[in-house]
Amino acid sequence: MRRFMARSCATIKPTHTYLQAPSRWFSSQRKRKNVPLLKDSLKKVYLKTHPDLFENFPEHKHVNQESLQSLQGLLESMKDNTESYPPKQHLSLDFHYRSGGEDGFKKVTLNISTTGGECKRIVGKGLSKFFVQFGLPDNFKWGDSFWKTPTIKDAIMEEQKRQQKEMEQKYREAYEKSTGTNF
């Protein structure tokens, strides 16, 4: 009986087109589920460029060490534990990793700019181009720990609160002065 009901329900088709969901809705949701987190893409880069892998190649080791430190500093400034945006700067960071190149290494450059304000898209584009050079997907999710810095709307609200407190303080002082009483 159940088998019959399952078959008969499966053959029912909606008669109205507005009941049918376009297949592209579901395919885009499937694609988004497979988008890696930034930390996962970075981990794959770290596994290819970590300085300890280049003990016999001191120049490549030094370049990767300096570049990884700079990248970590930039990423730290974008974490939610900071109260400001990353400073305005342009970074051009070189990385070396083993590949089938002429000398067995490939040089990859990360060009990334920050504006001193909210620059999530600019940084994201730079990282995407960087990941592609490693054969990784060009899209990623930032994750929960990045870009929790205040927005312009938050800054305006904070300024309004500060001004409100200033006004209340001035009124309080004027009232105390005119009446000779303290709050």
Give yes or no for residue 68 having a pLDDT over 90. yes
Mean pLDDT across the stretch 11-30?
A: 47
pTM above 0.75, yes or no: no
> Which whole number is the average pLDDT over 9-34?
49
Give the rounded distance of the alpha carbon of 49 from its chain centre: 21
Strand 89-98 and strand 105-114: the pairing is antiparallel
Place of tokens 């290494």: 105
Average pLDDT over residues 131-159: 76
Those residues whose C-beta lies under 8 Å from the C-beta of residue 173, and which sit 6 or more positions away, are none
- Is 60 exceeded by the pLDDT of residue 5? no
Q: Confidence class of residue 109 from pLDDT cuts 50, 70 and 90?
A: very high
Bridge partners for 111 per DSSP: 92
Instruction: Count the alpha carbons within 13 Å of 103 in the hemisphere toward its beta carbon.
Output: 7
pLDDT at 150: 52
Close Cβ partners of 69 (under 8 Å, ≥ 6 residues apart): none
As a whole-number percent, the residues of the chain with pLDDT over 70 amount to 74
pLDDT at 82: 58
pLDDT at 161 (0 to 100): 87
Q: What is residue 116's predicted lDDT score, i.e. its pLDDT?
A: 78
Share of the chain above pLDDT 90, in %: 34
What number is the average pLDDT over the span 7-28?
A: 47
